């Protein structure tokens, strides 16, 4: 056992030394010139700016952001990934090395900018013809979940991204990732509400505040401010409102958003409004909407591929989350009827040539 422990310690030492040397080397490169190549992730460079199919993805290191980046690369785009710290640059390098992100040295660039600084965002977007704002925010503490202060950060970031898009001449279109939660939390005491939920529905801000649904509140206000700026400043915008984003190890790879989304899960399940969407299908939806923005795509798009309406479906989701099923479905054993308006399959119709189904099942 002593020999095994020594080998493990030696491996850890070597990994740490490799990591330390990588950071030192990268720091030296950054000091010399930010645009030098960094292990397949080249920094912002004027030659790439000239490419017609250059787009920017914010939070490209996130669960959804990475899926969008890979989908764009497969479709032949050049992608500038926006990060706001050195740790995310290192994560991107590790993802490329592990194969999680496609290795396309001449197609990927990385630039650092703070979402609080419009000028930095404009420099990051310069030369890009489109921006995908994935609105992915991680809990700084790692465990406390999506707080009220994070909702405020998300709203401000959305405002700044939209202003930067409007002020950057090369940017033609923006696709913003909102959430289905921005549509479904409505005050049931209002008798004039439509029975079914569709892309014209908006959550009630006061209700979200009262129930402390900070993730829903953040997505709701971030989307609203984006639409306000888009109308005032003339930027072409579409928003996608996905259900709970699932996929391989989603609860581990996207914990903050997953846990935050499921606050109020029992009520969503009972109302037939707990919906999920696979991250790969959602990434494809983003790209398909973006490519149709100069033709027929417009407005908001609800995006899901399953409504959780049976006990066994709730149990499966709970197992994937590592939580008791009653946290999702309570004590109900009934089959829950969906309350989504699937008669107006706006997204499915738009992408019929590219995507079999992304606007739900009945």
Would you say residue 156 lies in a domain? yes
Convert the pLDDT of each residue in 184-217 to its tens digit: 999 888 767 777 888 899 999 999 999 999 999 9
Would you say residue 1 lies in a domain? no
Convert the pLDDT of each residue in 55-75 to its tens digit: 999 998 999 999 999 999 999
Exactly one of 107, 219, 263, 346 is catalytic; name it: 219
What is the extent of the structural domain holding 254?
45-359
Total domains in the chain come to: 1
Secondary structure of 165-197 in HEC code, one letter for each residue = HHHCCCCCEEEEECCCHHHHCCCCCCCCCCCCE
Would you say residue 17 lies in a domain? no
Would you say residue 77 lies in a domain? yes
Would you say residue 19 lies in a domain? no
Residue 15 pLDDT more than 90?
no
Contacts of 226 (CB under 8 A, 6+ apart): 133, 158, 159, 161, 162, 174, 176, 237, 239
Residue 343 pLDDT: 63
Would you say residue 78 lies in a domain? yes
Longest alpha-carbon distance in the chain: 73
Q: Is 219 tagged catalytic?
A: yes
Would you say residue 16 lies in a domain? no
Task: Give the CATH number of the domain where residue 89 resides.
Answer: 3.40.50.720
Residue 229 pLDDT more than 90?
yes
Would you say residue 25 lies in a domain? no
């Amino acid at each position: 056992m002593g020999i095994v422990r020594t080998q493990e310690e030696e491996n850890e030492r070597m990994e740490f030394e490799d990591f330390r040397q990588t950071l030192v080397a990268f720091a030296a490169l950054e000091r010399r010139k930010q645009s030098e190549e960094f292990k397949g992730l080249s920094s912002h460079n004027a030659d790439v700016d000239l490419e017609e199919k250059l787009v920017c993805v914010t939070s490209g290191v996130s669960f959804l952001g990475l899926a969008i980046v890979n989908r764009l690369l497969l479709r032949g785009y050049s992608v500038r990934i926006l990060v706001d710290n050195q740790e995310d640059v290192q994560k991107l390098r590790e993802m490329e090395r592990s194969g999680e992100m496609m290795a396309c040295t001449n197609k990927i660039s990385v630039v650092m900018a703070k979402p609080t600084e419009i000028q930095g965002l404009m420099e990051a977007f310069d030369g890009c013809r489109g921006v995908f704002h994935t609105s992915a925010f991680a809990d700084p503490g790692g465990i406390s979940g999506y707080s009220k202060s994070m909702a405020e950060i998300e709203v401000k970031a959305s405002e700044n991204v939209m202003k930067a898009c409007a002020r950057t001449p090369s940017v033609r279109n923006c696709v913003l990732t909102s959430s289905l939660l921005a549509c479904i939390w409505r005050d049931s005491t209002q008798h004039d509400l439509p029975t079914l939920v569709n892309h014209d529905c908006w959550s009630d801000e006061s209700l979200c505040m009262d129930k402390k649904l900070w993730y829903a509140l953040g997505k709701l206000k971030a989307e609203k401010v984006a639409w306000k700026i888009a109308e005032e400043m003339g930027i072409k915008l579409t928003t996608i409102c996905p259900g709970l984003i699932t996929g391989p190890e989603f609860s581990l790879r996207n914990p903050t958003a997953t846990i935050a989304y499921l606050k109020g899960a029992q009520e969503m399940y009972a109302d037939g409004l707990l919906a999920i969407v696979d991250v790969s299908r959602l990434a494809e939806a983003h790209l398909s909407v973006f490519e149709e923005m100069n033709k027929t795509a417009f407005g908001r798009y609800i995006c899901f591929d399953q409504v959780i309406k049976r006990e066994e479906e709730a149990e499966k989701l709970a197992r994937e989350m590592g939580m008791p099923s009653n946290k999702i479905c309570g004590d109900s054993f009934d089959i829950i009827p969906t309350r989504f308006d699937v008669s107006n399959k706006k997204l499915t119709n738009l992408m019929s040539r590219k995507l079999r189904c992304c606007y739900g099942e009945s």
